Amino acid sequence: MSDLSGQLIDNRYELLRILANGGMGTIYEGLDTRLDRKVAVKIMHPHLAQDEEFITRFIREAKAAASLSHPNIVNVMDQGWNQSGIPAVFLVMELVEGQTLRELIASKETFSVNETINYLSPVISALAAAHQIGIVHRDIKPENILISHDGRIKIADFGLARGTNLGQTMTAEASVILGSVSYLSPEQVQRGISDARSDIYSIGVMAFEMLTGKRPHVSDSPLQIAYLHVNEDIPKVSSKGIKIPKDLDELIYAATSRNPDDRPKDGATFAALLRNIQIKADPAKKQMSLELDLPVRQELPKPAKPAKPARRKEIVEEEVTREITREISKPVKKEKIEKPKRKFRKVALILAVAVGIGGWWSLIGPGARVTVPSLVGGTMTDAENLLNPIGLTSEISKEEFSEDLQKGIIISTSPAGGDKVKEGAVVSITLSKGPERYSIPMVAQLTVEAAIKVLSSIPIAEPVVQQIFNEKIPKGYVISSDPVMGTKVKRGAGIKLVVSKGIEQIPLVNFVNKSGEEALNTLTTAGFKVTPKYEFSETVPAGAVISQNPSEVKSYPKGSALSLIISKGSAYVFIPNVYSLSETKAKSVLTALDLQVTIKRMGTKAIKQVTAISPKVGSKVLRGSKVTITVG
């Protein structure tokens, strides 16, 4: 939809800027020019404004919210159709400036128990008021919980709301598509029905997400999430390692039960149970009301403890330093040195003889030694070139893996470079085998057990298994590995095996007597291969499904073939009254009814009009029948 900012709606509401886009319309910040106040204006998308059902939904949202008077529900002020300027169906609400609970969850990730209760209590209170007069919201999710700058909580978007005073409801299938699947109750997914307990389920899912930081069921596929809500229990919050009062843990677990009968029956019951838990934890809360329009106070982080004074440590260090300095600075007493001249001459002679004998021993005698050159970082060829000229030889004593030196490079020697050895000595060399790497073997199309056994032949970490649906690989067999086959990995490296869960099973909805267009879109999107066929029907309206095969409401493999027979309406038509119409107009009317028109022209008038028709007006004939009109 194009940006309508700057437009004046109903000669009253000036659209200032876009705030958000939704499935039904765009929400603008607006100005009520009569009362000079900021408002939120919701404009229905133009393509939906042509659909009577969506207009009904839009009006129902206004009626639902307008029929509620509660401080925690967004106030609806006006609704109508813009008669001046751009055609638009609009809804005017109070403007709540702040953020959504979804944005707060994204920034905080997890909430404490007190924070969770403080944020959800106003929501539960508002739902209790709605449930009391028979209105069910059916789309409770963090995106629809508004938090003003001063912390006040408001529920928005009663677009999916229904009740005895709101007229017809949407079809079950449409509600499933339009609602947010992560918070939909199992009964909404399975049967398209909902009551107050469906809202309670959504509240329970929100509480679980706020306390644990994650939604209970996560998948890239909305259909898979819906499947999990129907077939798998949501675990207790405490099972995720979150410290939470036992009573609150049990309440959230009951609220998210797949069986609606196990949940609190409505918002008032849920509020009372939550109230008892609060009073039990803090008796002072007995005097407070959950329904006051009070801002939520966020918990502030505890101030850090002041650091302990470090002055004493500094004093001690200074004292020790001064003491060491004094010891070093003490004068050394000079001792009297004797210098006997005669003894000195004898000692000098002895030393000269010793030096001469030592030089002979080390240079040309039995003690002659050579210095081992440094070989680390070189190759065996380098080693031979350096050792052979000085009478040394080398041998490879062992080979080791090295992350730093490539294969064939010397890591170390014994003796080490710089050591003295006898001529002819052998230098033992430790040679690099290069980085320690192992090649991932082929495991695709093996069973998980066989793949793990193959991988056990190399020293890597225990494989992590991820299961996904696959139309080609049988259930329980490996689709691929990460890293892929042939990749060189380090010792202890991790590996993921992607294992097939087989063909995805998709729940089938029976669309007989429902919109054929909706059936085609929904079933094709779900993954069925749909073949439509169009036939005349005297009992099923045009555009509705006459029959569906298969039609049994159960799960089928994704990609299953499915046929629909869609009604083209009645095979018969009634001859309309085209008297006095021009030849062209009359022919157009009859042709639109699939009738074959024969024209008889009489007289000389330039513009001829119908003067007779056969069969006569009101006759019931098959489509394709011949009709003769006389013009003159």
487-535 per-position pLDDT tens digit: 999 988 999 999 999 999 999 999 999 999 999 999 999 999 999 999 9
pLDDT at 25: 81
Distance CA(328)–CA(41), nearest Å, equals: 85
CB burial class (10 A; 0-12, 13-18, 19+) of residue 263?
buried
As a whole number, mean pLDDT of residues 375-403 equals 89
Beta pairing, strands 529-535 & 561-567: parallel
CB 488 within 8 A of CB 458: no
List 244's β-bridge partners, or say none.
none
User: Is the domain covering 99-113+127-287 a CATH 1.10.510.10 domain?
Assistant: yes
73-113 per-position pLDDT tens digit: 988 888 888 877 777 888 899 999 999 999 999 998 899 99
Q: Where are the domains of the chain?
A: 8-94, 99-113+127-287, 370-432, 438-500, 505-567, 572-631
Answer whether residue 362 shows pLDDT above 80.
no
Helix-helix angle 267-281:246-255, to 10 degrees: 170
557-598 per-position pLDDT tens digit: 998 999 999 999 999 999 999 999 999 999 999 999 999 999
40-78 per-position pLDDT tens digit: 999 888 777 777 777 776 676 677 667 778 889 988 888
CB 213 within 8 A of CB 110: yes
Distance CA(580)–CA(600), nearest Å, equals: 14
Number of neighbouring beta carbons within 10 Å of residue 226 = 22
Burial letters 185-217, b for 16+ CB under 10 A, else e: bbbbbbebebbbbbbbbbbbbbbbbbbbeebbb
User: Is the domain covering 370-432 a CATH 3.30.56.10 domain?
Assistant: no
Distance CA(252)–CA(594), nearest Å, equals: 61
| Residue linked to tokens 């009254």 | 577
Cβ within 8 Å of residue 454, ≥6 positions away: 441, 443, 446
Cβ within 8 Å of residue 153, ≥6 positions away: 72, 119, 122, 123, 145, 146, 147, 296
Grade residue 117 by pLDDT with cuts at 50, 70 and 90.
very high
Beta pairing, strands 88-94 & 555-557: unpaired
Whether 32 is a known active-site residue: answer no
Higher per-residue pLDDT: 582 or 321: 582
422-455 per-position pLDDT tens digit: 988 999 999 999 999 999 999 999 999 999 999 9
Residue range 572-631, CATH number: 3.30.10.20
Higher per-residue pLDDT: 328 or 158: 158
User: Is the domain covering 8-94 a CATH 3.30.200.20 domain?
Assistant: yes
pLDDT at 261: 92
Answer whether residue 306 shows pLDDT above 90.
no
CB burial class (10 A; 0-12, 13-18, 19+) of residue 492?
exposed
Phi and psi (nearest 5°) for 89? Answer: -90, 130
The residue annotated as part of the active site, out of 139, 157, 249, 266, is: 139
239-296 per-position pLDDT tens digit: 999 999 999 999 999 999 999 999 999 999 999 999 999 888 776 555 444 444 455 5
What rounded mean pLDDT belongs to the chain?
A: 82
295-303: long-range contacts at Cβ-Cβ below 8 A with a sequence spacing of 24 or more?
295/148, 295/150, 295/151, 295/152, 296/118, 296/119, 296/122, 296/147, 296/151, 296/152, 296/153, 297/118, 297/151, 298/115, 298/151, 299/112, 299/114, 299/115
pLDDT at 433: 92
CATH topology of domain 438-500: Trypsin Inhibitor V; Chain A (3.30.10)
> Which two tokens mark 261?
């009968």
CATH topology of domain 505-567: Trypsin Inhibitor V; Chain A (3.30.10)
CB 41 within 8 A of CB 30: yes
Phi and psi (nearest 5°) for 229? Answer: -60, -35
Distance CA(383)–CA(389), nearest Å, equals: 11
Number of neighbouring beta carbons within 10 Å of residue 574 = 13
| CATH topology match: 370-432 vs 438-500 | yes
**Distances 569 to 152, 340, 521 between C-alpha atoms, Å:** 54, 139, 20
CB 373 within 8 A of CB 403: no
**Distances 4 to 26, 33, 47, 94, 625 between C-alpha atoms, Å:** 9, 17, 15, 19, 50
List 438's β-bridge partners, or say none.
489
